Structure 1
Amino acid sequence: MKKITLLMMLFTIGILGAQTTHDIVWTNGAGTSGEATKTIETGDTVRWTWGNTAGHDIFSSDPDAPADFGTGIISQQGFVYEYTFTEEAVIDYICTPHSGNMFGTITVIDALSTQDKFATNLNYFPNPVNDKMTITSLYELDSYEVYSVLGKKIMQKEADGNFAQIDMSNLNSGLYLVTAISGDFKTTFKVIKN
């Protein structure tokens, strides 16, 4: 009985301490979409996958960047670079040939609650939006809701997977609140509709 209890405790600790891999498609525009900026925990891994055959690298002159972080120029679509971050830091990085639209920041913190991990790794763009807004999430999205600034629910739709598109083309110009929902987790952000 003691062995079973010990095994269950070790299994539980393993699950609670499990680290996460955060994926980034490393291609032109990755910086302007917010896709290349992540908040992660120490021990988490970030995996960059080259999204096209243009020559890309990952480079940081940030003093907080580990000495072995980054790559040379690679021109192979599908190439994967992974790095596991072991210390707290805020690291700015770029693709040197495309620094105007391929850049990001990796913020490494000691520990996040699951709700905080959901909220800090939710990306939405463009903002301001003209027609369609894209939401990407580390966690699977169940649904989203759009509210006026007065709190009136304007739209509610189901989502499927880690990606959702909101058609805001029929909404009047102004400020809206969007709530993204994943299981018991919710986070709300402001959106400007042109």
Structure 2
Amino acid sequence: MRIYTRTGDGGQTSLRWGERVPKNALRVEAYGTVDEANAHIGLAVAFLEPAGAGPLRALLLRVQRELFDVGADLATPPDRERGEQPRVTDQMVARLEADIDELERGLDALRNFILPGGSRAAAALHVARTVVRRAERQLVSLAEREPVDPALLKYLNRLSDLLFVAARAANRASGQPDVIVEWGKRS
């Protein structure tokens, strides 16, 4: 099988069930941004130190698989029969909440804003978090024009929270402290 099809050379792509849309359609932008976030999470996984990060690695790999479900749901036009139930569910959102609670148990209470960064894995997770926030904004814009499954919005909202906490956990696993924002301090 060839990786190239030439069907997108004119600036269009196919949604699920074959409907052709411009590559800059909001729906395509949203699932493309989800794919971008997934790639940043993969980078974070590659940066995780082998010792002490096993559970975090497993959690992030599960999230990466779930993001393919998010993309599949987004690639299904709202006016087309899905042929199956949506892949992203409120139960998945609840699981992210439980994951956040579990990760937070191993962290110091957060009383200040922190700078995004620290270890390479944490920095990549902070980038992924901001990309997920962009996907969420795109999904809100899409929802203003056509029906969007509310579970998708909830999932992306909760995922950005999880990635923030996961970045802190990655710093902790690598022995890096979170850097507190010191307002007005320049150096």
More relative contact order, 1 or 2 (CA 8 Å, 6+ apart): 2
Larger radius of gyration: 1
User: Shorter-chain-normalised TM-score: which range?
Assistant: under 0.3
TM-score by length of 1: 0.20
Structure with the bigger percentage of strand: 1
